Structure 1
Amino acid sequence: MKTHVKDLPDIELQKRMQQGDRHAFDVLFHRYWKRLFAYAYKIFNEAEVCEDIVQELFISLWNNAPQSNILNLEAYLLRAVKYRIANHIRSLKFERAQLDIIENIGAPTATVDDIEYKQLEANLMEKVQQFPPKCREVFMLSRFENCSNAEIAQRLNISVHTVEKHITHALRLLKNNIGTWNITFIVMGLFL
């Protein structure tokens, strides 16, 4: 009697997936998607973010299938969801910390030299131009056009989670290249 693909154990489906069998991947996706989403939602109560995390996990699973060596797929997927949510929460905390710094600093005083400020601003723009294209576009919309993350996501047809990742990445790049004080000062000045 012939066994249907959907009835195969995970390990067999993984082997087929490693050989490029899209149907085996689809079976695993349907087998685990709801459970992983429910688990993610239990940890982080934002449906859209949880959907993105689970989808990105499955994309990664498919893209890395040829070289993967997962012994217990269910345990691996649950750990991966938990890890990705932890990373998302960390990135949110980093972004919020940067925003708190910006909000808590007053306007530049009269003692700040306009020439120095213009040099810092030019340095910022130079660094922003070096960002990856999508990251630059998201950052410009967020910081220079004052668009919300939801507006940016809708405008660029990407998820809010992806917008948050781009902004976090942009702020890290600026922090590493300009320094925390200078970036805070420049970005604060751009909002005034």
Structure 2
Amino acid sequence: MKNGLPQLTDEALWNLYRQGNEAALAVVYERYVKRLYAYGRKFGAEAGLVKDCIQDLFAELLSKPQAVSQTPSVQNYLLKALRRKLLAKSRKSLSGHVFLSADPDEYLFELIPSPEQELIIAQTAQEDCRRVQEAIGKLTKRQQEIIYLKFYHDLDNHSIAEVMSLTYQAVCNLVSKAVKAIRKVLSNPATLLALLHLGYDIA
């Protein structure tokens, strides 16, 4: 039964799950499935593949609760686990795309707006939209992913380092370079404000 479970913190739910409470894991799933799906789709993977990876992830969690370690952030744990699964799948060609190469920065990741954000874009000046696209296009895929995690999922640099298996300093450097690259194109404060509302906050 899930009575009372939705009101629990992630940490409390995770502890219950690790004790064998399947309903607690179900609440975690409901709490994060949309966020995981949105993140997974940024890697250029088809909807079905992302859903399969999410289902596989939770099936594995369900099968071995005692073997799963405690975590200071359930969100970070899930994002990292899904990312690992998607990049493992990406070693194979899917729909004409090869997602991963020997270069760790060569994988598909598209910092594209959601339908809701596209509506906002449609209501902004065309020049601002062009500058947004230009700025994002100048970033590496890894920088786009970091910006997405930082400002869409509100992760701090330590959390991003955990999810992406990078050092904290590497994340700081990449964020700094990404912000500088964007500011070269988006010098207008009004445009920066528009990015804030679009989920592209780079302030």
Instruction: State the TM-score, normalized to the length of structure 1.
Output: 0.45
Relative to its length, the structure with more helix (as a share) is 1
Q: In terms of Rg, which structure is larger?
A: 1
Instruction: Identify which of structures 1 and 2 has the higher relative contact order when contacts are C-alpha pairs closer than 8 Å and 6+ apart.
Output: 1
